[in-house]
């Protein structure tokens, strides 16, 4: 027969696992943490203001916490301006703080990355992604990019080389795969 002192309850499991998670999270070396900006606010940049980029940013802003859309850019000015207007009218409009940092043109990605963001979302056409990824890592930014990451062998090799920079600098890189939760 089980003694009552050895019986694990849901409450005790949650209490123990929460404590273990807290200890683990606070013991991670500072270099490997995803955010090291020195402030409580996480500034997010969006490169590529199409439907998927806007959808991704809406999800990020809806998560909670002190996250701000700090800068956004697109090759086409009308895309950047229209998506800024849409996001500024959304339910999380108080988290859109990029009125003076809406960029357009072929170099919009550089302007977004150089604007002081902590993490950049690369959601442009995949042919440009290896160049944008490399520049973001050179500037010390964490990166989330959508699939596909590249369209050819040259771009794939460039991504693999650039990823070495991310590892060396302790930067975090995420990719929006379709089945990312399956093990």
Four-CA torsion 33, 172, 18, 23, nearest 10 degrees: -30
Longest dimension (CA), the chain: 73
**Nearest alpha carbon to residue 155 among 136, 182, 127:** 127
Burial of 110 (0-12, 13-18, 19+ CB in 10 A): middle
CB atoms < 10 A from the CB of 130, how many?
Answer: 24
In the Cβ-directed half-sphere of 99, how many Cα atoms lie within 13 Å?
5
Provide the residue ranges of all domains of the chain, joining segments of one domain with +. 37-176
Give me the count of residues in the chain.
Answer: 183
What pLDDT, on a 0 to 100 scale, did the predictor assign at position 156?
A: 93
DSSP string covering 86-110: HHHTSTTGGGB--TT-EEESTTHHH
Predicted local confidence at residue 74, as pLDDT: 97
- Render each residue's pLDDT in the chain as its tens digit; 183 residues: 555 555 555 555 454 444 444 433 333 344 434 445 456 899 999 999 999 999 999 999 998 889 999 999 999 999 999 999 999 998 999 999 999 999 999 999 999 999 999 999 999 999 999 999 999 999 999 999 999 899 999 999 999 999 999 999 999 999 987 665 555
Q: Does domain 37-176 have CATH number 3.40.50.720?
A: yes
pLDDT at residue 177 in the model: 77
Distance CA 134, CA 139 (A): 9
């Amino acid at each position: 027969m089980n003694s009552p002192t050895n019986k694990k309850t849901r409450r005790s499991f949650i209490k123990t696992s929460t404590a273990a998670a807290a200890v683990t999270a606070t013991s991670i070396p500072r270099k490997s943490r995803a955010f090291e900006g020195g402030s409580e606010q996480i500034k997010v940049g969006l490169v590529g203001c199409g439907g998927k980029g806007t959808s991704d940013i809406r999800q990020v802003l809806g998560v909670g916490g002190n996250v701000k859309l700090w800068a956004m850019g697109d090759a086409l000015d009308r895309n950047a301006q229209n998506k800024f207007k849409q996001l500024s009218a959304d339910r999380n409009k108080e988290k859109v703080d990029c009125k003076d940092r809406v960029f357009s043109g072929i170099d919009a990605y550089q302007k977004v990355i150089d604007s002081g963001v902590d993490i950049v979302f690369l959601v442009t056409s995949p042919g440009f992604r290896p160049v944008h990824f490399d520049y973001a890592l050179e500037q010390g930014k964490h990166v989330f990019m959508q699939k596909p990451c590249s369209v050819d062998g040259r771009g794939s090799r460039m991504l693999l080389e650039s990823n070495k920079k991310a590892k060396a600098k302790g930067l975090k890189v995420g990719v929006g795969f379709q089945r990312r939760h399956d093990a």
